[in-house]
Amino acid sequence: WSVKYGSNELLNTMLSGSYDKSVCLWDIRSSQQIQVFNGHNSCVYAVEYLPFVVNNIEIGNNSNVICSGSYDATIRFWDIRSNKKELHLIKVDKLRCLKFVLSKKTKKTDNKINKGYNFNLYYGSANGTIHIWE
């Protein structure tokens, strides 16, 4: 149902989400499956590499965490380094698509303006609504 090509250090990989409820990490060069992530109870409609490190919310180019969205109404985060360990689960509506979007943020504290960047997770539900998870 869904594919996503890797970037940065995972350049030669691809993620797939499928009707059999699994998420797979593939080596593009050898066409071999590297890992399988199980846990969804329905078909997986969306897969993404995370553009930041989840454990310390540090924005960077580390794609060791992936996420998957399913019609079982969950978004699951997986650490590919720990061999199939699920990091986090978000309960949502029945999901059809998801995307991480980089946005600028401006925060005013003590009469100073701090500018930075933030990643938000946008996801579309089967009922046609778009949600933002910050």
In a domain, 123, yes or no: no
For the chain, the domain total comes to 1
- Structural domain including 34 reads 2-95
In a domain, 41, yes or no: yes
In a domain, 70, yes or no: yes
**What pLDDT shows up at residue 37?**
94
In a domain, 117, yes or no: no
**What pLDDT shows up at residue 56?**
40
In a domain, 67, yes or no: yes
In a domain, 19, yes or no: yes
The rounded distance, in Å, linking the Cα atoms of 41 and 81 is 23
The string of DSSP codes covering 80-133 is: GGGSSEEEEEEE-SSEEEEEEEEEEEEEEETTEEEEEEEEEEEEEETTS-EEEE
In a domain, 26, yes or no: yes
In a domain, 102, yes or no: no
**What pLDDT shows up at residue 58?**
41
CATH code (residue 51): 2.40.10
Chain segment 33-63, per-residue pLDDT in tens? 999 999 999 999 999 988 655 444 443 444 5
Mean pLDDT of 14-42: 94
Chain segment 92-127, per-residue pLDDT in tens? 888 888 988 877 776 666 666 556 777 788 889 888
More confident residue, 61 or 91: 91
**Entry pTM:** 0.77
